[in-house]
Structure 1
């Protein structure tokens, strides 16, 4: 029986195939860690291939979309809706994180065995006086990230250097400014550039579809290598935090799916079907930027939203609306407060939420351990010693990073659906 490319793509993006590949990878990493470590290069190559596509795709899509937006009119109205939706989604993410942690209280009333494991990870016994002094003593001075720093980091002094270093946020700023300028140029003059940008955009989408085919194998290799590196002890010690973050992420994803379903012209199963690509790629790459092509394909081709709006709003939302990290910062900060027995009032919880939103916006263009380190920005407002607990979060970050990326991708897909006009039901 001959299987065409479309059928094969639907198979490799099937959620059960994705989850099965992850489970097989974790099993391999636990049973044969030496073999699993040798397979890590497969994931590295795959992620690099996806990153190779992202910047030319994003720059061409944003410039092309802004040009069309100016030609069609209504720019101010669209940007106003963007601001409202971004603020609303940031608020929802932080409220979900705060309510989940305050309800589940994963850092409170921990057993002595768990505290001993924490102490072993950070270099001592949490239950002993020595470790208490180490964790609560004078911490290294942490240089906060202010509004001025964020604004300075937005502007690319050299766009070619920004592109070469893979700086997504600076490249986005350049693309937006250039797109605004191109929108003012007469169509007869910019026609050649328009065709070139459209060619780049279509080529990047084709490459992305090709890279979907080896996804199950890539997932297996990546998950096996990650578990082999970290082992299971940190996962066991941080089980309660990870469980709380999973619950918070599932609630956030549920809200996003509800929004998408209500905004689309399809029934709920069809809406879920349209999100197969973004879901699988978010888990595989743990990079929200690499998911932009499939997000656009899902919204425009599968759910029927206007492509001209989607192509502009997806890169903008992925780069700026960092709801996954915002959710994570709230959960991590409240967990640290509970771990150190710090009781927080309503005002302090609201402060944590506001600081997490600021840290989320500051995380634009960041990934990996750099993203985790910004938790210290939220902790700093409460005087919590984040540096001592940093290694705890590093140990479980592979799993948390998957969830952060998934919340960004699915959540921003929902945000874009709210900004765009609703598709007409056929």
Structure 2
């Protein structure tokens, strides 16, 4: 079983299953569309585990940190690391996108194909209507309203609605309070949370057993639904973002290897499972158990710190979304021939970092809408380009999630003390 698990979560197995599913979806679209529910059920099963796992992990690890001491030092270092990672990713994404400039120099045939893709709609009405109507300005929100939206009035309602940030805020506050309770009174809660935490990890391993077949079904259904034309006409943007993602993934592996004091191959082996899950599900929250197992179990970082930092990192430090906002906005600027000055580029980097923090809990095509926020600050049109970005988002979402997971692991490794080698 262990050998099968390693094979199923190998990056080569993941790539082979995705390619095989894509070929099947292109060659036999009718039966491939029928495989779509397999992926939906699989992702729902993983989402089912996320909230109980996150709450138990945060409270459980905070109790452990209070028993060991040093909780305040961890949070100060976390704030510095999060800020440094956000700035570095935003600047790297900006430089890469400006270097390759994917939206400029398109041939007339490619522009015609892009226009056709924009205007394709089921009844040819919704897209055209939205392009001709004047877009309503986004409602302004004060800082007080934003903070109020983070506080769950009813934690059970927040759990039922899948509101990850509200559940995280509750877990943090409850964990801080539980850490002040004497050990003789909190030992029962500690043991119960530990049971929930380990049970969720076991359940995640069980759900991951059919991953190769699920990947095949998901890729086949996606290609059968959208075809290959979106990838062909958006090849420049997709290639640029995938290249940027590979660069960020490599940087993340280098940081982890240096902090852990191990070879790069050992880091790749430890991150095999969270990377495969990120590509398969396009949902970074479902990767939390695998991230904790890789960092604490395989790379020997402090388990108490890793169990606390991984949920915080996945919820707040979404570097895949930051890189995507930068790349998508610069693609729109190049597509419409809008020159950007140094001030515009710095504003783009800043707004993209904030948008990355705002993307907590967002998955899939909802994340694409964040590009509209950054485009609005630079007075760039977004409505028509949204259709183009949405058409290739399934592939970009895989890379976006993988970047969030691996850079999140790098951030956790940077906050934690270096593991002691015996």
TM-score of the pair, normalised by structure 1:
0.94
1:142 paired residue among 98, 117, 138: 138
The correspondence of residues 221-240 of structure 1 with structure 2, limited to 5 A, is: 221-240=217-236
CA 1:362/1:106 → structure 2, altered by over 3 Å: closer, same or farther?
Answer: same
8 Å CA contact retained: 2:282, 2:364: no
* Structure 2 match to 1:374: 370
CA 1:234/1:48 → structure 2, altered by over 3 Å: closer, same or farther?
Answer: same
Query: Does the residue aligned with 1:366 lie in a helix, a strand or coil?
Result: coil
8 Å CA contact retained: 1:325, 1:360: yes
* Structure 2 match to 1:294: 290
* Structure 2 match to 1:105: 101
- What is the CA-CA distance between 1:229 and the residue it aligns to? 1.4
How far apart, in 1, do the equivalents of 2:275 and 2:359 lie?
A: 22
Residues 360-390 of structure 1, C-alpha deviations (whole Å, 9 max, x = no match): 1111111122211111111111111111211
1:363 paired residue among 359, 365, 372: 359
How far apart, in 2, do the equivalents of 1:121 and 1:142 lie?
A: 26
Asked whether 1:385 is paired with 2:392, we answer no
8 Å CA contact retained: 2:234, 2:392: yes
Residues 216-274 of structure 1, C-alpha deviations (whole Å, 9 max, x = no match): 00110011111111111111111100111011111111110100111113211111111
* Structure 1 match to 2:90: 94
Q: Which moved more, 1:290-299 or 1:375-384?
A: 375-384
* Structure 2 match to 1:271: 267
Asked whether 1:15 is paired with 2:11, we answer yes
1:257 paired residue among 249, 253, 258: 253
The correspondence of residues 133-212 of structure 1 with structure 2, limited to 5 A, is: 138-143=134-139, 147-212=143-208
How far apart, in 2, do the equivalents of 1:144 and 1:222 lie?
A: 38
How far apart, in 2, do the equivalents of 1:146 and 1:366 lie?
A: 21
CA 1:322/1:44 → structure 2, altered by over 3 Å: closer, same or farther?
Answer: same
8 Å CA contact retained: 1:135, 1:385: no
Asked whether 1:53 is paired with 2:49, we answer yes
Query: Does the residue aligned with 1:305 lie in a helix, a strand or coil?
Result: coil
Q: Which moved more, 1:362-371 or 1:21-30?
A: 362-371
Instruction: List gaps (5 residues or longer) in structure 1.
Output: 125-133
How far apart, in 1, do the equivalents of 2:347 and 2:282 lie?
A: 29
The correspondence of residues 297-336 of structure 1 with structure 2, limited to 5 A, is: 297-336=293-332
Q: Which moved more, 1:266-275 or 1:351-360?
A: 266-275
CA 1:31/1:352 → structure 2, altered by over 3 Å: closer, same or farther?
Answer: same
8 Å CA contact retained: 1:58, 1:315: yes
- What is the CA-CA distance between 1:96 and the residue it aligns to? 1.5
Corresponding residue pairs, total: 415
CA 1:144/1:234 → structure 2, altered by over 3 Å: closer, same or farther?
Answer: farther
* Structure 2 match to 1:128: none
2:73 paired residue among 58, 68, 77: 77
Asked whether 1:43 is paired with 2:36, we answer no
8 Å CA contact retained: 1:144, 1:377: no
How far apart, in 1, do the equivalents of 2:22 and 2:169 lie?
A: 39
- What is the CA-CA distance between 1:147 and the residue it aligns to? 4.3
Instruction: Compute the RMSD of aligned alpha carbons.
Output: 1.7
CA 1:317/1:186 → structure 2, altered by over 3 Å: closer, same or farther?
Answer: same
Query: Does the residue aligned with 2:337 lie in a helix, a strand or coil?
Result: coil
- What is the CA-CA distance between 1:169 and the residue it aligns to? 1.1
Residues 20-63 of structure 1, C-alpha deviations (whole Å, 9 max, x = no match): 00110111111111111100111111111111111111100100
Asked whether 1:32 is paired with 2:28, we answer yes
How far apart, in 1, do the equivalents of 2:271 and 2:141 lie?
A: 35
How far apart, in 1, do the equivalents of 2:352 and 2:343 lie?
A: 14
- What is the CA-CA distance between 1:150 and the residue it aligns to? 3.4
- What is the CA-CA distance between 1:138 and the residue it aligns to? 4.4
Instruction: List gaps (5 residues or longer) in structure 2.
Output: 121-129
How far apart, in 2, do the equivalents of 1:215 and 1:104 lie?
A: 35
8 Å CA contact retained: 1:145, 1:377: no
Q: Which moved more, 1:207-216 or 1:311-320?
A: 207-216
Query: Does the residue aligned with 1:157 lie in a helix, a strand or coil?
Result: coil
8 Å CA contact retained: 1:266, 1:425: no
- What is the CA-CA distance between 1:176 and the residue it aligns to? 0.4
